Amino acid sequence: MTETRSPRKVLILGALSAMAAATARRLADRGSDFVITGRNADALERAAKDLKARGAASVAIQTLDLLETGSADAVMAQAVEAMGGLDTVLVFYGILGNQAQAETDPQEAERIIAVNYSSAVHWVMAGARALEAQSGPNRVLLTASSVAGDRGRRSNYVYGSAKAGLSVLMQGLAHKWAAQENAPRAVNLKLGFVDTPMTDGIEKGGPLWAKPDDIAAIAERALTKGGPNVYAPWFWRFIMLAIRGTPAFVFNKVNL
């Protein structure tokens, strides 16, 4: 069996998101072990049963609010104990928030930043410490970010700034590990439009929209190769290259 289909020991932070659930299903098919986290205990129980039915070797659940970051190292230690090791940490939670509200309501702006960046920093760093303490091969820390962080736009610049911060954090972590022998890998998915509950308020349709299963396939491949930034789907790399390269005097006339 090749490494791309071998079992993993997976901690998923934000396991109830549509993309996380789709990725977990693919990894369950390998016979992987899981610790899945989220705020809804009943939904986690249902997800655990589904993963076991799909072939997961074991599934433990931890009910927690990821904004409460004081337990981050303890959660990592518990995951290692539950699975007898850890080689994969997936950070798959986030919110889009309300840009218009954030412009007048500091609490909404703070909420967007706290969920998408400041709390994620704690979990990423705790995950990095946990993976560094393990000795096995193929260790990966993977985060879900967004192309919104590639250039500030009037429609979502608070959210975009948080995702830009997460992307730079992961790029820096990847740079650190690249200088070390037998270190883990850091991979950051830069997501385009994905049809999930988070985007329910946005009109959907057309070739730019991906499904959670599409992202799951990209995430699974990224656990083996690629990074530190992986555009998902791939064509967003070229879309964002054009957006970043557009002169300000032109860009400012476009409603994005």
The per-residue pLDDT for 4 is: 52
State yes or no: is 159 an active-site residue: yes
Q: Is residue 216 packed enough to be buried (19+ CB in 10 Å), middle (13-18) or exposed (0-12)?
A: buried
Rounded Cα distance between 26 and 186, Å, is: 20
Can you give the pLDDT at residue 15?
A: 97
Residue 188 belongs to a domain: yes
pLDDT of amino acid 58: 98
Token pair recorded at residue 93: 């939670």
pLDDT confidence tier of residue 2, bands split at 50, 70 and 90: very low
What's the average model confidence in pLDDT over 205-223?
94
| Residue 31 belongs to a domain | yes
Under 8 Å between Cβ of 76 and 122? no
* 3 state SS for 157-219: HHHHHHHHHHHHHHHHHHHHHHCCCCCCEEEEEEECCECCHHHCCCCCCCCCCECHHHHHHHH
Distance CA 47, CA 53 (A): 10
Residue 256 lies in a domain: no
Global pTM reads 0.94
pLDDT digits (tens, 9 = 90+) for 96-108: 999 999 999 999 9
Note the pLDDT tens digit of each residue in 70-89: 999 999 999 999 999 999 99
Q: 93, 117, 159, 231: which one is catalytic?
A: 159
Counting the structural domains of the chain, the total is 1
Q: Per-residue pLDDT for 27 more than 50?
A: yes
Whether pLDDT at 205 is above 80? no
pLDDT at 5 over 70: yes
- The predicted-structure confidence for 12-25, as pLDDT tens digits, reads as follows 999 999 999 999 99
Distance (Å, rounded) from C-alpha 142 to C-alpha 144? Answer: 7
Q: Tell me if 194 is assigned to some domain.
A: yes
Q: How far apart are CA 84 and CA 57, in angstroms?
A: 12
181 — pLDDT class (breaks 50, 70, 90): very high
What is the chain's mean pLDDT, rounded?
95
Both structure tokens of 31: 């016979």
- The boundaries of the domain holding residue 98 are 3-251
Whether 37 is covered by a domain: the verdict is yes
Task: Please count the CA atoms within 13 angstroms of the CA of 249 that sit on its side-chain side.
Answer: 0
- For residue 95, which amino acid is it? I
- Residue 123 pLDDT exceeds 50: yes
Q: What is the mean pLDDT of residues 125-131?
A: 98
217 part of a folded domain: yes
Q: What percent of the chain has pLDDT over 70?
A: 98
Over residues 219-251, the pLDDT tens digits come to 999 999 988 999 999 999 999 999 999 999 999
What's the CATH number where 10 sits? 3.40.50.720
Q: Is residue 75 part of a domain?
A: yes
